[in-house]
Amino acid sequence: MIDRLDPVGNGIKRGSCRFMSSSLPSFDVTPSLEMDACFTAFDKDGFDLNQDGLIDREEFAFCWNRWIKVIVRPNSALLVIDVQNDFISGTLNLSQCSAKQNGLQVIEPINKLLDTVNFNAVFYSLDWHPSNHVSFIDNIKLRKIHHTSTIQPEDAQTYDTVVFDGDTPIRQRLWPRHCVQDSWGAELHKDLKVVDNAIKVYKGTDPEVDSYSVFWDNKKLKGTSLAKQLEAKKVTDVYVCGLAYDVCVGASAIDAITIGYRTILIEDCCRGVDMDDMERTRNTILENYGSCVQSDEVSPPCITHPILEPYIRLMWSVS
C-alpha cells in the first residue's frame, strides 16, 4: 500500500518500483485498494525497462505514451455504421425484420451528437456490394452448396443460413439484395448529417465474402482502411452507432474491442434486426469490457479527481 507520496525523497515507491522525480507535489494520499491495484498492474506491465527498481525519466516517457496519456488524453472517433437507404426504406427495411424497428429513428440522435460532441474523427461506413454478392438470396444458385448445409437452394428463405462450398466452407446468412454499388439504396440517407473532413469506409466489396464489421470481412482475411486510419489519428476511444445493432454495428464494436480500443456503443443511435440477437450482442460487448450508453451520456471526456489532478498536470508538463 502507498502511505505517502514524498517529493523530497526518492520518488513514488510501490513494492520494488519507484518514480524518480524532484518535482512531484507534496500531499498525503489515503491508502486505497484501487491505488494499490493500479501500481500492481503498473509493475506487471514492465515499464521499469532496465529492471533497476526505479522509473527514470526515459521510462516514465514510455509509460506516459503507452499507458497514462491514453487515459488522461483520449482521442475519440465516431463510427456511423451503414445509415443507408436500403436499411431504412428500401429492400432491407429494418421495419420488416422480426424486431420491427424503424431505422429512420437513428438519424435525429446521430445528427445531434455530431452537432454537440467534438469527436476527433468521424467515419461513415457503407455496405457496398457488387451485384453478384454472396449474401443475396437471389444469387444462391450461383455457388455450390456444401454437403453439410442443412438448407438446400430450392428450400432457402430470406434470413436463412446456408453453407457454401469452397476450400474453406463458409456459413452465410441470406439477405435480400441490398446496397448494390452506385445504387440509390447504397446511398447514405439524405437527412443524415455528413460532417466536413469525415471519412467514408466501404465494405462488402468482395463478391465471395460478406463483411459485417467495418474493420474486416467475415472471414478475417482482408481488412478495410479503417484500422490504419484510426492509428494514424491516434484514436483511443471508439464510439459506434447506426444500422443494424445486431449485425454490422455489433460486429464493428466487437472488433474495435478486440483491437484494443475503449469501445462505446450508443444504443439509442442504433436499430436492429432481431431482439434476441440484439440482447446477445449487447451482452457480448459488456462481457468484453465495452460500454453501452445513451447519446445524452456522451460528452468530451473529463478526468478530475482531487488526488490525481496535480499528477495529471505534471504528466502534461513532461509530455
Please state the domain extents for the chain. 76-136+175-234
| pLDDT at residue number 39 | 55
Q: Decide the pairing of beta strands 12-14 and 17-19.
A: antiparallel
- pLDDT score of 269 more than 50: yes
Catalytic option among 82, 210, 237, 274: 82
Active-site residue 167, yes or no? no
Active-site residue 28, yes or no? no
- pLDDT score of 2 more than 60: no
| pLDDT at residue number 49 | 76
Active-site residue 248, yes or no? yes
Do the beta carbons of residue 84 and residue 104 sit within 8 Å?
no
Cα Rg, the chain, nearest whole Å: 24
Do the beta carbons of residue 149 and residue 139 sit within 8 Å?
no
| pLDDT at residue number 63 | 77
What strand order describes the sheet that includes 54-55?
12-14, 17-19, 54-55
Q: Which long-range contacts (CB under 8 A, 24 or more apart) does 111-116 make?
A: 111/191, 111/192, 111/193, 112/295, 113/78, 113/241, 113/266, 113/269, 113/295, 113/298, 114/78, 114/193, 114/195, 115/193
| pLDDT at residue number 181 | 98
- pLDDT score of 266 more than 80: yes
| pLDDT at residue number 38 | 55
Percent of the chain with pLDDT over 70: 79
Going by pLDDT thresholds of 50, 70 and 90, the confidence category of residue 57 is confident
> What mean pLDDT is predicted for residues 283-288?
96
- pLDDT score of 248 more than 80: yes
Catalytic option among 17, 48, 63, 203: 203
CA distance 28 to 283: 41
In sequence order, the 6+-apart residues with CB closer than 8 A to the CB of 3 are 29, 31
| pLDDT at residue number 41 | 52
Q: Which of 45-59, 60-74, 232-246 has the highest mean pLDDT?
A: 232-246
Q: Read off φ and ψ for residue 138, nearest 5 degrees.
A: -75, 0
Least reliable range by pLDDT among 34-48, 77-91, 110-124, 191-205: 34-48
Q: What is the pLDDT of residues 193-243, one digit of tens each?
A: 999 999 999 999 999 999 999 999 999 989 999 999 999 999 999 999 999
- pLDDT score of 254 more than 70: yes
Q: Which of 19-33, 56-70, 305-319 has the highest mean pLDDT?
A: 56-70
Q: Which residue has the higher pLDDT, 68 or 250?
A: 250
| pLDDT at residue number 70 | 72
> What mean pLDDT is predicted for residues 160-174?
94
Q: Which fold has domain 76-136+175-234?
A: Rossmann fold (3.40.50)
Q: Which of 56-65, 166-175, 180-189, 309-318 has the highest mean pLDDT?
A: 180-189
Going by pLDDT thresholds of 50, 70 and 90, the confidence category of residue 35 is low
Q: Which of 91-95, 289-293, 297-301 has the highest mean pLDDT?
A: 91-95
Q: What angle do CA 191, 263, 194 make, to 5 degrees?
A: 20
Catalytic option among 63, 179, 241, 248: 248
